[in-house]
Chains A and B, each alone.
Chain A
Amino acid sequence: MERISLKKSNLFKVATVFLPLALIPLFDHNPYHLDLFTTVGIYALLAMGLNVVVGFAGLLNLGYAAFFAIGAYTYALLSLHWHCPFWLGLPIAGLVSMFFGFLIGMPSIRVRGDYLAITTLGFGEIVRIAFNNLDAWTGGPNGLLGIARPKLWVPSFEGGLHFETWSFSVNPAPYGYLVLGLVAGTACLLLRLSDSKFGRALVAIREDELAASCMGIPTLKVKLYAFGVSSFIAGIAGCVFAAKQTIITPDSFDFVLSVLILAMVVLGGLGNLWGAVLGAAVLGTLPELLREFADYRMLVFGLIMILMMIFRPQGILGGQLIQRELDVRHKESADGAS
């Protein structure tokens, strides 16, 4: 019985946050605002996905943009060569990205801490350079263009029942709803996940890997699954991104993006799902609000990361667990000194 009420409360939380957002496109018809709305949604997906690995499991992944790229290129190639519909491409992009997540994760998770960060960074760069150099498949630095937009089949009753295809166009509103739906769905799933055995195992590993493995948690397996879930979400986000832009180039998936997403997670609060969404909203809209200071954007990101780590390492909404973990070292050193 308790599980059902928990499920209800998660759905309720997600609905209260995202339903009001669904009203925005009804009142605000400014395409520029709606486009920003969609972009922030894609960032939110990425931030939530990265949060699974960095926040829950405590594994710093600095090559996250690579999984976003793999999702985007998967859908682009499927669409260009086989005219694969978007709705089929979406799960395939997620799965292909997840496959690469496992592939890259398997050797990487064996190395610990800061070395893992550098390993993932190395893999991320290899993927980007590969997309840049494999001209025959990926169009090299020019990228791929003419990627199909999503289509819907709308029932029509004129002259008997048949379906008419209705394609997304340059109008950003449908993308806004699509992304909002995906963000809400992902949030629901991740909230369920964080309350599950798997989620608890991840947090246990983050808090103390040795103790976790002594408790019988298969740490390598759990960490690998976290990598898989996280890259699946990035793949989904990449697919939506490719369908929205209709053109993708390797430049869109560089190290700066990986760090930007990391900055969102850090700003919102490591390990906190709502924090990731909030971080995406803040860092996604901030540059648009400060248009005239566009050149200072990355400078400000750098500064935010430094200041957050020094003054509020748990982030704006940081959870209690994280706070406890960040205090551990202080306690240890205090004990050592006494």
Chain B
Amino acid sequence: MNAALELFIQQLINGLTLGMVYALIALGYTMVYGVIQLINFAHGEVFMVGAYLALTAIWILAALAGPLPFWVSFAALLVFSMAGSALLGATIEKVAYKPLRNSPRLTALITSIGVSFFLQNAVMLIYRSKEQSVPEIIPHVQVSLGRISFSLIQGVIFLTSIGLMIFLTWFVKNTKLGKAMRALAEDPEAACLMGISVDRVIRVTFILGSALASVAGVLFALYYGSVNFHDGYLAGLKAFTAAVFGGIGSIPGAMLGGVLLGVFEGLGAGYISSQWKDVFAFLLLVAVLISKPSGLLGENIPEKV
């Protein structure tokens, strides 16, 4: 295989890995937007808190238990982080957004910016230093083919993300709660008249979205080996870009948008300039919002969740 093709495939793999993480975060944006039409600005911080919870879980595991097989520790991290973030998501909804259910959209948006600042600084105060390194949990093993390499952690990211996306699709399609979510997205008043508990469905939406974001946080922390309390802002914004790109309110759209954004970024960073890669993402965001706010899969906007 020639070198150019190998480089391309490598950038594609790296981009897809990042795209999986974006997609997981984007799902939370899109679900919440579908149900209550709120751009939950604090969602990126939930992702960041998820990453910090993973770090905390690693510390706890190291202190309490001896060396464990990597998949046991990984599962423990996931459970710990998802539980913590789900609780956080439900609390944010109850404290900050529920009182504003009937307020203008901008009021809730400003509140969510407040929540975002609050969480960022709370994490900074709790964990003190700006950047923390994350101990290696998943052994550094990789399969190489020529100059293309595929590491174990990338495999874990692919499997976990795809598994969760399949689960979410099944959940929204087939369970009672999932159907309630779709009904609420389509017509809140009719849903309410049909006896759907609106508050409960909104709470579940926040819990699901936060849990998915925290998984993204765990994967991100393990992949890069460090966490920073500023990570949530940029990752959140890019995931929002992905959600808008795919068509906000649409679950397959968020998945597609996330993966595509990751690939664009990987290829852009590899071939054009890594210094400007954030600008590409923002340009994409602005261009989509201005020219086609309904996004790629915008057709199924009526069926928002």
Contact = CB atoms under 8 A, between A and B. Distances in A.
Interface in B176-221: 189
Contacts of B108: 309
Q: Name the residue in A108, A296, A306, A328 with the highest tally of chain B Cβ atoms < 10 Å from its Cβ.
A: A306
B118 A119 contact: no
Interface stretch (B18-26, B120-128, B255-263): B120-128
Contact of A119 (B38, B122, B286): B286
A13 interface: no
B152 to A, nearest CB: 34
B179 to A, nearest CB: 24
26 contacts: A117-B109, A118-B244, A122-B286, A122-B289, A126-B282, A130-B279, A259-B117, A262-B113, A296-B125, A298-B120, A299-B117, A302-B116, A302-B118, A303-B114, A303-B118, A305-B113, A306-B95, A306-B114, A306-B115, A310-B99, A313-B107, A325-B104, A326-B107, A329-B102, A330-B102, A336-B189
B100 A118 contact: no
B103 interface: yes
Contacts of B38: 114
The 6 lowest CB-CB distance pairs between A and B, nearest first, are A305-B114, A302-B117, A302-B118, A299-B121, A306-B114, A309-B111
Contact of A126 (B115, B124, B283): B283
Interface residues of A, number: 46
Contacts, number: 125
Given A125-B237, A295-B125, A299-B122, 9 more contacts: A118-B244, A122-B286, A263-B114, A298-B117, A302-B116, A305-B111, A325-B104, A326-B104, A330-B102
A110 interface: yes
Interface of A: 58, 60, 62, 107-108, 110-111, 113-115, 117-119, 121-123, 125-126, 129-130, 133, 255, 259, 262-263, 266, 295-296, 298-299, 301-306, 309-310, 313, 325-326, 328-330, 333, 336
B34 to A, nearest CB: 14
Interface string B253-286: 0000000000000000000000110110011011
A299 B103 contact: no
B107 A129 contact: no
Given A309-B110, A313-B107, A129 B276 contact: yes
Interface string B24-41: 000000000000001100
Given A118-B285, A130-B279, A309-B100, A299 B110 contact: no
Contacts of A336: 189
A118 B276 contact: no
Given A126-B279, A259-B117, A299-B117, A118 B105 contact: no
A111 B103 contact: no
Interface string B224-254: 0000000001000100100010000000000
A326 B103 contact: yes
B290 interface: yes
Contacts of A129: 276, 278-279, 282
Contacts of A325: 104
A103 to B, nearest CB: 12
Contact of B105 (A113, A255, A266, A310): A113
A154 B68 CA distance: 79
A28 B233 CA distance: 41
Contacts of B103: 309, 313, 326, 329
A129 B275 CA distance: 9
A158 B70 CA distance: 87
B96 interface: yes
Contact of B289 (A111, A266, A296, A330): A111
Contact of A110 (B99, B100, B233, B290): B290
Contacts of A313: 103, 107
A156 to B, nearest CB: 52
Contact of B286 (A123, A255, A295): A123
A114 B118 contact: no
B64 interface: no
B118 A299 contact: yes
B248 to A, nearest CB: 9
B251 to A, nearest CB: 20
A207 to B, nearest CB: 11
Nearest to B284: A122
Contacts of B244: 118
A295 B118 CA distance: 12
B293 interface: yes
A115 B289 contact: yes
Contacts of A255: 233
Contacts of B290: 107-108, 110-111, 119
B5 interface: no
